[in-house]
């Protein structure tokens, strides 16, 4: 059985030039660990600190850990235009932490320090890792600035929920260094590898350039009445990670989703659905022309047989809800799978993980199934991390230990790429 390390995707970092921007927030101390991990993964790291960042962390630390001396100013270099050199030479720029000021100035095109000038002087992919207090993170101005940057192709690594400066709890905590490095690796994995046109069997290990990929995400909602639904705990995070990494690797991605989350950069089409029947109606015709179909959504197994056409009232007593099975259209996709298509299912289990997943793999005629124990700590629904085993119809078995969902997505797509047929012309 193959084992995939928690940061399996970081091979894409070897020899790549990463500009690490550090803005002036208390979370700047975590950027030290980001820098160390990037260098350990083989990246060439050029640290760029804003003047405010130096109030929290020292340039000596980043100069010692990075691949070259840390920069803090447009004017402290013998080069007349350091931001141009940094921007043109970067394979990727990651800003961790990205403060509200930096996000706003970048969205507005303001270049009043070296970091912002570098962001405006690059055509490399940009990843922002916001960190700020909850009230700031949720402010409409910050969210609108982020929406603007996302539309321009900037990737945002969402902050977590946890203890913040001052001792209170809430959203706005900088993502963990391992997750930030995984996001950088996922972006570089797409940029580094040639597509099917290059002539290798899978277009380069892990490449999806030119392939058409359909991904489903989220938990379906089945109506009880016009207000209430039966649903599940799926957040859509794993599906969105798959869509984002596939797009970063060059795929033409269609995302069919039940949840309202920021769309990953590069996704070509987003289709909103609610129920299992809605998803079937949108997925089945699109699947016919897809090279890869990844059914990451948690599709309901049951639905109310006779949903009410009005809101049920408590005064009317407890309603008797009779359930009926939904149609498992993944079986149809497996039976009617076009030649060469790779079909991937998910098995969210609480017991007998591998045996249940293997049974579904065979019964649904899948090429791969991603099995995850949703009762395990830190894995499955609603978490930012996951631990899975990828089973193949050929008997292969690859274990991915607890990792970020971006890293899990990378491992799944690596397995997909190995099953793709020889290169072909894409419309």
Q: Which residues are catalytic?
A: 232
CA distance 36 to 95: 15
Per the structure block, which two tokens stand in for 325?
């099975």
Q: What contacts 286, CB < 8 A, 6 or more positions away?
A: 214, 254, 256, 271
Beta partners for residue 398, in sequence order: 2, 390
Task: Classify 353 in phi/psi space as left (phi over 0), alpha (psi -120 to 50) or beta.
Answer: alpha
Closest CA to 45 of 73, 64, 28, 30: 64
Q: What is the rounded end-to-end Cα distance, in angstroms, of the chain?
A: 37
- The SS3 call for residue 401 is strand
15: phi then psi, degrees, rounded to nearest 5: 75, 0
CA distance 360 to 366: 8
- The SS3 call for residue 78 is coil
Q: Tokens 């001052």 belong to which residue? A: 166
Per the structure block, which two tokens stand in for 374?
């949703």
**Residue 72: is it exposed, middle or buried by C-beta count within 10 angstroms (0-12/13-18/19+)?**
buried
- The SS3 call for residue 273 is coil
CA distance 147 to 263: 10
Longest Cα separation, the chain? 80
- The SS3 call for residue 128 is strand
Closest CA to 254 of 293, 288, 207, 221: 293
């Amino acid at each position: 059985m193959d084992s995939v390390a928690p940061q399996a995707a970081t091979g894409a970092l070897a020899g790549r030039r990463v500009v690490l921007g550090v803005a002036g927030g208390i979370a700047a101390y975590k950027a030290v660990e980001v820098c160390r991990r990037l260098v350990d993964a083989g990246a060439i790291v050029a640290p760029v600190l804003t003047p405010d960042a130096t109030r929290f962390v020292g340039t000596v630390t980043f100069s010692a850990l990075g691949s070259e001396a840390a920069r803090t100013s447009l004017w402290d270099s013998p080069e007349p235009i350091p931001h141009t050199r940094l921007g043109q030479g970067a394979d990727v720029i990651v800003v961790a932490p990205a403060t509200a000021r930096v996000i706003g100035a970048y969205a507005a095109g303001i270049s009043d320090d070296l970091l912002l000038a570098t962001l405006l002087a690059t055509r490399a992919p940009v990843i922002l890792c916001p960190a700020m207090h909850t009230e700031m993170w949720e402010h409409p101005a910050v969210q609108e600035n982020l929406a603007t940057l996302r539309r321009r192709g900037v990737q945002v690594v969402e902050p977590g929920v946890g203890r913040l400066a001052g001792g209170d709890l809430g959203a706005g905590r900088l993502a963990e260094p391992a997750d930030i490095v995984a996001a950088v690796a996922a972006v570089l994995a797409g940029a580094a590898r040639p597509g099917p046109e290059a002539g290798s069997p899978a277009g380069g290990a892990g490449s999806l350039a030119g392939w058409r990929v359909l991904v489903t995400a989220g938990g379906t909602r089945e109506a009880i009445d016009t207000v209430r639904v039966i649903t599940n705990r799926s957040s859509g995070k794993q599906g969105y990670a798959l869509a984002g990494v596939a797009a970063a690797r060059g795929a033409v991605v269609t995302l069919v989703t039940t949840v309202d989350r920021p769309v990953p950069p590069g996704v070509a089409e987003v289709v909103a659905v609610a129920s299992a029947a809605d998803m079937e109606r949108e997925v089945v015709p699109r699947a016919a022309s897809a090279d890869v179909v990844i059914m990451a959504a948690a599709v309901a197994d049951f639905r109310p047989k006779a949903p009410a056409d009005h809101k049920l009232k408590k005064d009317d007593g407890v309603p008797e809800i009779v359930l009926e099975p939904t149609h498992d259209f993944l079986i149809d996709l497996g039976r009617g799978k076009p030649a060469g298509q790779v079909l991937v299912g998910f098995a969210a289990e609480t017991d007998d993980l591998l045996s249940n997943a293997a049974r579904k793999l065979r019964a649904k005629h899948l090429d791969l199934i991603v099995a995850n124990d949703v009762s395990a700590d830190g894995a499955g629904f609603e978490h930012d991390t996951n631990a899975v085993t990828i089973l193949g119809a050929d008997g292969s078995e690859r274990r991915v230990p607890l990792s970020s969902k971006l890293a899990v997505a990378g491992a799944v797509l690596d397995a997909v790429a190995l099953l793709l047929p020889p290169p072909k012309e894409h419309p």
